[in-house]
Amino acid sequence: MAIFAEKVTKTYQSGEVTVKALREASLTVPDKKIVTILGPSGSGKSTLLNVIGGIDRYDEGQIVVDGRTLDGLKDKQLTEYRRKNIGFIFQQYNLIPTLTVEENVEVGRELSSNPLPMEDTLKKVGMLDKKAKFPFQLSGGEQQRVAIARALIKNPNILLCDEPTGALDEDTGKNILKLLKYVNETYGTTVLIITHNQGIGEMAHQVIRMSSGEIVETFENETLVDPEQVTWS
Partner 1 sequence: MILKKSMIRTLKEKKFQYAGVSLLLLLAVTLYVSLSMAVTTLEERNARFTEDYKQETFHFVPSEPVDSSKLQEWEEEFDVTLEARSYYDADVDDSVLRVFSQTEEINLPYLSEGSNPTDGSEIAVSSVFAEKNDLHIGDEVEISGERMEVTGFVYLPDYIYMIEQLTDLISDAEKFGIAIASESVMDQWSSRSQTEITGWTSDGEVPDGFMEAVRAETTILQFVEAGDNPRIQFVDTEIEGAKSMNNTLPLFILALAAAMVLLLMRRRIEMQRKEIGTLLALGYRRNELLRHYLGYAWVIGLSGTVLGLAAGAGLSVPLSNLYANYFNLPALSMFDFNPMVLVIGLIIPLVLMLSLTAWGIHRALKVEPLTLLRPKEVTVGRKSWLERLPLLNKGSFIQRFRLRLLVRNKARSLYIFLGVMFSTVLLLFGFITFNSMDQLVETTYEDIMTYDYAVYYQSLQTEEPADGSDPFTVGEVNVKGQDAKLTGYGIETGTPYIHLLSDEEKLNSELKEGAVLSTPAAAVLGVGAGEDITLTNSLNDEEMTVQVAGVADVYIGSQIYLPREVFNEFLGYPGDAYSAVWQAEKPERGADVYQIEDKQKVIDSFEATSGATRSSVIGMAVFAVVISVIVLTLLTNLIVEENSPSISLFKVMGYHNSEVSKLVLSVYTPVVMLSYLISIPLAGLTLGQLMNSLVEQTGFILPTDVSLWMAATGFVVIMLTYALSIALSKRKLKQVSLQEALKKQQD
| 29 lies in the binding site for partner 1 (CB under 8 A) | no
Among 84, 123, 133, 196, binds partner 1 (CB under 8 A): 84
Rounded to 5 degrees, φ, ψ at 220 are -110, 140
Q: Are 206 and 227 in contact (CB under 8 A)?
A: no
CB of 187 to partner 1, least distance (A): 17
Among 99, 128, 224, 225, binds partner 1 (CB under 8 A): 99
DSSP strands (E only) in 30-76: 34-38, 60-65, 68-69
| 58 lies in the binding site for partner 1 (CB under 8 A) | no
CB of 181 to partner 1, least distance (A): 22
| 50 lies in the binding site for partner 1 (CB under 8 A) | yes
Q: Are 48 and 4 in contact (CB under 8 A)?
A: no
Rounded to 5 degrees, φ, ψ at 47 are -65, -40
| 113 lies in the binding site for partner 1 (CB under 8 A) | no
Rounded to 5 degrees, φ, ψ at 143 are -65, -40
CA distance 106 to 19: 38
CA distance between the termini of the chain: 30
In the complex with partner 1, the residue whose CB is nearer, 66 or 106, is: 106
CB of 113 to partner 1, least distance (A): 12
| 76 lies in the binding site for partner 1 (CB under 8 A) | yes
Site residues for partner 1 per CB under 8 A: 50, 53, 55-56, 75-76, 79-80, 82-84, 86-88, 90, 92, 94, 96, 98-99, 103, 106-108, 110-111, 150-151, 154
